[in-house]
Amino acid sequence: MRGGLLRLFFVSLGLFGLAACHAPEPPLRVATSQWVGYQPLHLAQGHAFLPPDRFRFTDFGSNTESLRAFRNGNVEVAALTLDEVLLLSDADHDARVILVMDYSEGADAIVARPGIARVADLRGKRVGVESTAATAYLLARALEIGGLTTADVTLVPLHAARQERAFRRGEVDALATFEPLRTRLLELGAREIFSSRQMPGEIVDVLVTRSRVIEERPEALSELLQGWFAAIGHLRRHPRDAVAAMAPRTELSTDGFLQAIAGIHFPSHAENCRLLARSGEQLSPTINRLHRIMTVQGLVFGEAPRANELFDDRPLQRLDCGPDSDVTEDSTR
């Protein structure tokens, strides 16, 4: 009897071990925000371009919150801007770019009250901005191009979620902002005086993870990228259907959303293969330019990281980066 019980114990132990070996992996936690360029991730999930139960998306109020969640280890993947990746790198956080999601070509902007017609008119004015977000870089570049510095304006630190209300209440004269807030503010009567269209290639949105996740969850990351490209393809082929699914998340109308993404370029799979090739060396000039401005603004303090310290194309390579690697066309514009 005792022998039978012992055999039963070891059989049960073996079955438990077998079950543990085949336990499903937990979903990858992905941080996003309201930025219109990130919405194809949700389109991919809603249109079943992603395997069910493999990913858990968390919408944050702004990239600043997404950055904090990634830094604190609350998510494995985050949609961020390249300058925010430089903030992580400067603080010695392990952050690896696995996808160039989009380039802002007008979707980030400085908007102001009537009577303020150009950047030079901001002298002495109150300008609302998130201090650690891409819009802080946008403002710094706008002031530089307009012949001003931050000392010439009154900076008002303002979380993205409070910007529309602050504008309505007259608490600021101008805002460094982004879509969908840009469109909503213009509808309130704001006037655009500067946009990312005037600094092409400088505001880049990327998908970031950690080296450990690349090693441990390569299949899931590649599935995430494949779902992204499928969503971009759907957006290109069926823009009205795709936008109707995405617009409600941003509180924009279908036409407003279409107008917003007109200022965004979505690189294709093939273009990503070129951008991330040789450890992202094609983006080295962008990294150095970003780092220079961020250093002047006191946002970073160390030396500019090398591209091969930031970019990792292994998840992308799993989708094949050969000569016929186009998964989808590269633009919805």
Question: For the residues 185-208, what does the mean pLDDT come to?
Answer: 96
Q: What is the pLDDT of residue 333?
A: 32
pLDDT above 60 (res 13): no
Higher pLDDT, 98 or 251: 98
pLDDT above 70 (res 5): no
Q: What is the pLDDT of residues 248-290, one digit of tens each?
A: 999 899 999 999 999 999 999 999 999 999 888 999 999 999 9
Q: What is the pLDDT of residue 22?
A: 56
What SS3 state is found at 103?
A: strand
Please report the DSSP string for 137-150 in residue order: HHHHHHHHHTT--G
| CATH 3.40.190.10, the chain: domain bounds | 28-103+202-318, 108-198
| Fold classification of 28-103+202-318 (topology level) | D-Maltodextrin-Binding Protein; domain 2 (3.40.190)
Q: Is the peptide bond before 24 cis (omega within 30 degrees of 0)?
A: no
pLDDT above 60 (res 1): no
Confidence of residue 233 (pLDDT cuts 50, 70, 90): very high
Question: For the residues 112-133, what does the mean pLDDT come to?
Answer: 94
Q: What is the pLDDT of residue 2?
A: 40
Q: How far apart are CA 139 and CA 101, in angstroms?
A: 22
Pairing of strands 174-178, 108-112: antiparallel
Among 92, 314, 328, residue whose Cα is nearest residue 213: 314
Q: What is the pLDDT of residues 16-50, one digit of tens each?
A: 454 445 567 899 999 999 899 999 999 999 999 99
Question: For the residues 110-126, what does the mean pLDDT come to?
Answer: 97
pLDDT above 70 (res 149): yes
Q: What is the pLDDT of residue 155?
A: 96
pLDDT above 90 (res 321): no
CATH of 108-198, one of 3.40.605.10, 3.40.50.720, 3.40.190.10, 1.10.287.110: 3.40.190.10
Q: What is the pLDDT of residue 188?
A: 94
The mean predicted confidence, pLDDT, of the chain is 90
Q: What is the pLDDT of residue 11?
A: 46
Q: What is the pLDDT of residue 52?
A: 85
Q: What is the pLDDT of residue 326?
A: 57
Q: Which residues of 41-63 are buried (b: 16+ CB within 10 A; e: fewer)?
A: bbbbbebebbeeebbebeebebb
Helix then strand then coil, in percent of the chain rounded to 5, is 50, 15, 35
Lowest-pLDDT range, 19-28, 136-145, 212-221, 285-294? 19-28
Confidence of residue 67 (pLDDT cuts 50, 70, 90): very high
Q: How far apart are CA 41 and CA 50, in angstroms?
A: 9
Confidence of residue 61 (pLDDT cuts 50, 70, 90): confident
Please report the DSSP string for 296-318 in residue order: HTTS--SPPPPGGGTB--HHHHT
pTM for the structure as a whole: 0.87
Instruction: Return the amino acid letter for 229.
Output: F
pLDDT above 90 (res 182): yes
pLDDT above 90 (res 95): yes
